[in-house]
Structure 1
Amino acid sequence: MSARTFSVAMLAAFAWLPLAHAGSQTIPASAEGQIEFNAPSGNIGCIYTPKGGTSTYQPQDGGPELSCSRVEPSYVTVILGPKGPATLIKNPGEQGCCSDVAKLAYGNSWKKGPFSCQSSTKGLTCSNSNGHGFFVSKAKVTVK
């Protein structure tokens, strides 16, 4: 094999490698069913709370609920329920985002109950099964 053929073969192998890691990512739940994950940047963190809530937190409508917070450039929280549109809270007060939890790798997706999220270098996109959701990045936050 010539050096050029070897170089092309190696380049093709490395070009394919990131795709092998993209896909659905499983993140373990706590004993009470909550799931926490962050974007790899550490600037966005999410908490899934199951229907019925936990001993310390009850979603407004009984759940399930997905709540994601962004730290920079300003702290905001977006809350998504199982059916309706997402709610953007521009000054949530409590700012406990982004502890040392599992990272939802860029290119990977996560799904639990009616919620699904897709992580990319551009930001985090999440939706419920009714098509409502949000996009969060350092540059912007949009809800639908």
Structure 2
Amino acid sequence: MLARSAAILFLFAWLPLFASVPLAHAAEQGIPASADGQIEFNTPSGNIGCIYTAKGGTSTYEPKDGGPELSCSRVEPSYVTIILGPKGPATLIKNPGEQGCCSDVDKLGYGNSWSAGPFSCQSSTKGLTCTATNGHGFFISKAKVTVK
């Protein structure tokens, strides 16, 4: 009984030292831009892929309204694309026509986050959540897609 009490007192003596340690947050994962300035990443499953295009676009692609733009596509169970710009809600395209998603690019690891321009994304085993600084965004997974 005395040993148990001593162990409890020992733990409480150290507790204040850990009280100021912040809780673990998602690690910010840096993903390099390609030569044309776009940033591409996939979720670890390979089912969701995203392309960030900076304001002004590239020599071959200019986002609506000049950008910046975040476009993410899901392959299964049905191919969809979501486009998020710096203003207004995300646009869900249920039949985008072209289906070029998910080439061999960097993976945004589960539990990690990414950000560029006004956008940030959080990857988890449940799916990918992306938001713009204006509060609009989306959630995309194999099971569902929601936009706001």
Partner in structure 1 of residue 6 of structure 2: none
> Offset of 1:72 from its aligned partner?
0.1
> Aligned partners of 1:21 and 1:42: how far apart in 2?
24
Alignment-derived partner of residue 68 in structure 2: 64
1:31 shift after superposition:
1.6
One-letter amino acid of the counterpart of residue 104, structure 1: L
The match for 1:134 is 138
| CA distance in structure 1 between the partners assigned to 2:108 and 2:42 by the alignment | 6
Who is 1:47 aligned against? 51
d(CA) in 1 for partners of 2:119, 2:26: 19
Q: Could you tell me how far 1:22 is from its partner in structure 2?
A: 4.3
Measured in 2, the distance between the counterparts of 1:59 and 1:21 equals 32
Give, in whole Å, the separation in 2 of the partners of 1:21 and 1:117: 13
Q: Does 1:76 align with 2:74?
A: no
Distance in 2 between residues matched to 1:66 and 1:22, nearest whole Å: 20
TM-score, with normalisation over the residues of structure 1?
Answer: 0.85
Gap runs ≥5 in structure 1: 1-18
Work out which of the residue numbers 84, 97, 112 in structure 2 matches 1:108. Answer: 112
In terms of Rg, which structure is larger?
2
Counterpart-to-counterpart distance in 2, 1:21 and 1:41: 22
Deviation at 1:20, TM superposition (A): 7.8
Report the RMSD for the aligned CA atoms in angstroms: 1.4
Work out whether residues 83 and 129 of structure 1, in 8 Å CA contact, stay in contact via their aligned partners in 2: no
Identity across matched positions, percent: 87
5+ residue gaps, structure 2: 1-22
Amino acid of the structure 2 residue aligned with 1:59? P
Q: How many residues end up aligned between the 2 structures? A: 126
